[in-house]
Amino acid sequence: MIKQDIVKIIPLGGLGEIGCNMTIFEYQDKILIVDVGFKMPEESMPGIDYVIPNSSYLKGKEKNVVGIVFTHGHYDHIGAVPYIISKIWRRDLPIYASPLTKGIIIKRQLEFSKLPKLNIDEVRNGSIVKLKPFTIEFFSQNHNIPDNLGLIINTPLGNIVHTSDFKFDPAPVNDLPTDFKKLESIGNRKVLLLMSDSTGAEEEGHSLSEKDIFQNLEKIFQQANGRIIAATFSSLINRIQQMVTLAEKYKRKVIVEGRSMKTNIEISRQLGYFKIKKGTLIGKKNMRDFPDSKIIVLCTGAQGESSAALMRIVNREDKTIRLQKGDSMVLSSSVIPGNERSVQNLKDNILRQGAKVFHYKMMDIHAGGHAQKEELEKMIRIMKPKFFIPIHGQYSMLFSHAQIARETGILEKNIVVAENGQIVDLDPQRIFVEAKTVISNHIMVDGLGVGDVGEVVLRDRKMLAEDGMFVIVAVIDRKTGQVKGSPDIISRGFVYLRESKILLGETRKRVVGIINRTTGSEGAANMTYVKDEIRNKIGEFLFLKTQRRPMVLPVIIEV
């Protein structure tokens, strides 16, 4: 039987969401994987550390994986490696990443002592890797982290261009400007399919240049008479470099707080992507040796993360660094959707302690690493693809990007707005989505547990968080089936027992009645049925009285 001559493209994460980027390219059973990322949990996921793609599609196909390539070192593209790669790992599995991306992946892998050591081959702008039947050529793309690479995936059916996250920056930091001649040469090689970053597809115009950000940050350095405390993402190496460059220009000493930021700075320094003069960096214990006007603290936590360095400072949990009047707080990151409330509370708490707050809505002190409408249109016109798939973004972003593609002249039938788990079939004549899908529900990581927290557990956590818990402990005489004494009640997060005596009294009477009715006089009742009756009837009664639905947990003890 002749295998069908098509390329299958299967997104396992990153389409219809921000993060979890992982895409499979499959041709005649041979599989290429691009990126293995995670995303942060939503507010509806209490207790979850992060979310990773579901890789069950690869089960039984491990030997078919010809290799894994990474576009760049942001965790939404590499963060799930420790959880997924062990499932498909073999000693001869080819893995390719740029030097900085490789360094971050290996450093993170070391945090998981029981996992295998990864052998990652380095690639750079212009590198070509052959992973039959695919040949991958890497090309530089501006982003907000160095060593970001787009991909030209040559298949037996034609060229697929994967842009990675990108923007067109005429004056980047730590990087060269976009090489438009290189992009045009790629476009002249007949691009069958363009897969392009959609994160900024709903934003008009052109993204900000890092040069503009630098100039605005410098205004803060010029005006600040006290300490500057700047928070940003630990992976925003370019922004951290700008802060250090300005600190050295204005004779400030730099203190770095946050394990991930320290790690990324050290990796970047070793690879030559981060420059800092000897003596600029000091420990926070030496902060008092210098006047406030000569200090800048760089830290993580601009999103209001509870465990980040900035939150420890704002909550006065850091024994050395305390906010004070005269401090200038710089939040150099945009707000990730879902974090609005946390960031607002963070700003309020900073202001209450007398510090000034500068954030991206006040002045341009943060530029996203993603192309906006004007740049996205330009990328499509340069590449001149026959087919188009928008990637990396919420569905509305993908939809907006598809509209941009239509406006550049790509035919409606040649554009696919896909979502996670869908199978996109591509050949030189057409592109379409199969009716069947693959499993793509996300896996939740909670502490050491991977995938053991599902929808039922999350539902229980939400119920506990919203309406609390109501435990009923009843002792039953095994012979008679009757309740002995009065049932004990434990309430957590529902009502305060001392102030709810009437409600508790009525509840106890109802519990006794339910048990006596369901056990009968012989005492030979099904205790599962008894517990279900208590749970249902008492739940209805409590809702009637309070309009709240606590989690009712009956405990029956037979004596």
Model pLDDT, residue 365: 45
Model pLDDT, residue 501: 80
Model pLDDT, residue 2: 44
Closest CA to 237 of 371, 346, 309, 332: 332
Q: Which amino acid is at 229?
A: I
Closest CA to 201 of 19, 74, 423, 380: 380
| Rounded average pLDDT over 473-489 | 83
Q: How confident is the model at residue 366 (pLDDT cuts 50, 70, 90)?
A: very low
Angle between helices 81-88 and 99-109 (to 10 degrees): 90
Closest CA to 183 of 320, 27, 378: 378
- The backbone region for 271, taken as left when phi is positive above 0, alpha when psi lies in -120 to 50, beta otherwise, is alpha
Say if residue 363's pLDDT is above 50. no
| Rounded average pLDDT over 5-34 | 96
DSSP letters, 222-255, are: HH--S-EEEE--TT-HHHHHHHHHHHHHTT-EEE
Q: What is the CATH number of domain 210-359?
A: 3.40.50.10710
Say if residue 27's pLDDT is above 70. yes
Say if residue 146's pLDDT is above 50. yes
Q: Which amino acid is at 157?
A: L
The model's pLDDT over 526-543, given as tens digits with 9 standing for 90+, comes to 788 888 888 888 888 888
pLDDT higher at 224 or 458: 224
Say if residue 308's pLDDT is above 80. yes
| Rounded average pLDDT over 169-173 | 83
Q: How confident is the model at residue 296 (pLDDT cuts 50, 70, 90)?
A: very high
3-state secondary structure 416-480: CCCCCCEEEEECCCCEEEEEEECCCCCEEEECCEECCCCHHHHHHHHHHHHHCEEEEEEEECCCC
Total Cβ atoms within 10 A of residue 130? 12
- The backbone region for 301, taken as left when phi is positive above 0, alpha when psi lies in -120 to 50, beta otherwise, is left
Say if residue 513's pLDDT is above 50. yes
Q: What's the pTM?
A: 0.80
Q: For residue 433, list its beta bridge partners.
A: 424
The CA distance from 42 to 423, in Å, is 26
The model's pLDDT over 484-495, given as tens digits with 9 standing for 90+, comes to 888 888 888 777
The model's pLDDT over 96-118, given as tens digits with 9 standing for 90+, comes to 999 999 999 998 888 887 788 89
| Rounded average pLDDT over 270-288 | 91
Query: Of the segments 215-224, 370-379, 495-504, 506-515, which one has the largest average pLDDT value?
Result: 370-379
Percent of the chain at pLDDT > 70 equals 90
Model pLDDT, residue 362: 45
Model pLDDT, residue 502: 85
- Alpha carbon distance, N-terminus to C-terminus of the chain: 69
Q: Where are the beta strands (DSSP E) in 360-400?
A: 387-391
pLDDT higher at 555 or 3: 555
Mean pLDDT of the chain: 87
Q: How confident is the model at residue 506 (pLDDT cuts 50, 70, 90)?
A: confident
Which CATH number does the domain 468-558 belong to among 3.40.470.10, 3.30.70.1430, 3.30.465.10, 3.10.20.580? 3.10.20.580
The CA distance from 153 to 508, in Å, is 69
Enumerate the domain spans of the chain.
7-205+368-450, 210-359, 468-558
Is 7-205+368-450 a CATH 3.60.15.10 domain?
A: yes
The model's pLDDT over 317-339, given as tens digits with 9 standing for 90+, comes to 888 898 999 999 988 776 565 56
Model pLDDT, residue 4: 65
Model pLDDT, residue 1: 35
Tokens of 93: 């599995």
Tokens of 25: 């390219």
The CA distance from 73 to 549, in Å, is 44
The CA distance from 9 to 410, in Å, is 19
Model pLDDT, residue 546: 82
The CA distance from 320 to 284, in Å, is 7
- Sheet with 158-162, strands from edge to edge, namely 128-131, 134-140, 149-155, 158-162, 191-197, 387-391
Model pLDDT, residue 476: 86
Taking each continuous run of H as one helix and of E as one strand, the counts in the chain are 14, 25
Query: Is the peptide bond prior to 133 cis by the omega test (within 30 degrees of 0)?
Result: yes
Q: Which amino acid is at 225?
A: N
| Rounded average pLDDT over 178-184 | 95
Eight-class DSSP state of 134:
E
